[in-house]
Chains A and B, each alone.
Chain A
Amino acid sequence: MNRNIVTAAKAAMAMGLLVGLNACASSADPHAMALSTPATPDAKPFPPPLMHAMCVRSVTGGEETNPMWVSKVDNNGFKSALVTSLDSASLLSAADATTCPFPIDVNLLGLSQPSMGFDMTVTSHVNYKVFDAGGSPFLLATIDAPYTAKMSEAFAGVERLKKANEGSIRTSIQQFFDKLRDSNPK
């Protein structure tokens, strides 16, 4: 009898732990995906033609998060993060997306996520397409950006996966900015 109670209690604890680790998933936070701090003073400056001349025309490929499944990155969240990042780097144009000199189209190819684990590494795969005023592509960048969220960042698995998604997009935007710094716009 006692043994059955102990077994049932252990099973309940295991279930409770699993439920705790797999609580409702929520979408990635745009603020957490954005680069909000300016580049370090020794960072290479952006080419002058890009300053206050860029805008995000479209973001595609994102997915809405199903609370019963896993955290994802949606188009609006990604767009908001990229716009905030461009603004903090003084790259954002005051003109709208149809008239700004260097519009950007983003295609989120997908997120490679672990199904579970202690340290969770998510890799985002993103195509950034930057066009010049004439409509020709001047920078086409395919960026794979991994980020590992450690157990110390969040105990619950769904929260850790969300943080890994956010970190991966932040890293992706950082790498995109590095490519912009190395570009040669006319």
Chain B
Amino acid sequence: MFSKSLLLACALVLCGCAARQVTPIAMSQPGDDALTCDQLGAQMAANGVSEADYRKQDKQVENGNIAKGIGSAAPFVGPIIAGSTDLSNEEQVKARSLADRNEQLKYLAKQKGCTK
């Protein structure tokens, strides 16, 4: 019974812990050159809000992972807790890619002589 439970737990853990698919926001995007100053400003503002939101979520995931790391030492259920750790870094990747995207938009705005 113990062996079967252990095997089942291991199988569940090993099958269910692949990293989530993460897609960062590209720094340079098609059509960037055609953006007006207003469009650039609007995109930068929206990106700034999203970036702050992702950074907040990233912190929450990080704190959750610390708790799971401690919980993974528990007998029997430890591997299941360890398997639920989120190492996809989705929120961090998105936040950082938005910051780089905004850097590029700022450069474009400067090139176009946008005032704000």
**Alpha-carbon distance A107/B102, docked complex (angstroms):** 14
Number of interface residues of B (CB under 8 A): 38
Let me know if A104 is at the binding interface, CB within 8 A.
no
Which residue of A has the minimal Cβ distance to B58? A110
In the complex, the answer to whether A127 meets B13 with C-beta atoms within 8 Å is no
Let me know if A155 is at the binding interface, CB within 8 A.
no
- Chain B 1-21 per-residue mask, 1 if CB under 8 angstroms from chain A, else 0: 011001000000111011111
- Once A109-B92, A112-B87, A144-B24 are accepted as A-B contacts, the answer to whether A117 and B17 lie under 8 Å apart by CB is yes
Let me know if B52 is at the binding interface, CB within 8 A.
no
Chain A residue contacts of B17, Cβ below 8 A: 114-117
- A72 to chain B: closest CB distance in Å? 10
Please pick, from B23, B84, B104, the residue contacting A137 in the complex, using a CB distance under 8 A: B104
Number of interface residues of A (CB under 8 A): 31
- Please tell me which stretch of A6-14, A45-53, A77-85 contacts chain B, meaning at least 4 of its Cβ atoms lie within 8 angstroms of it: A6-14
Chain B residue contacts of A123, Cβ below 8 A: 19, 22
Chain A residue contacts of B28, Cβ below 8 A: 137, 140, 142
Let me know if B97 is at the binding interface, CB within 8 A.
yes
In the complex, the answer to whether A115 meets B82 with C-beta atoms within 8 Å is yes
- Within A113-165, the residues touching B (CB, 8 Å) are 113-118, 121-123, 125, 127, 129, 137, 140-142, 144
Interface residues of A (CB under 8 A from B): 7, 10-11, 14, 18, 22, 61, 69-70, 107, 109-118, 121-123, 125, 127, 129, 137, 140-142, 144
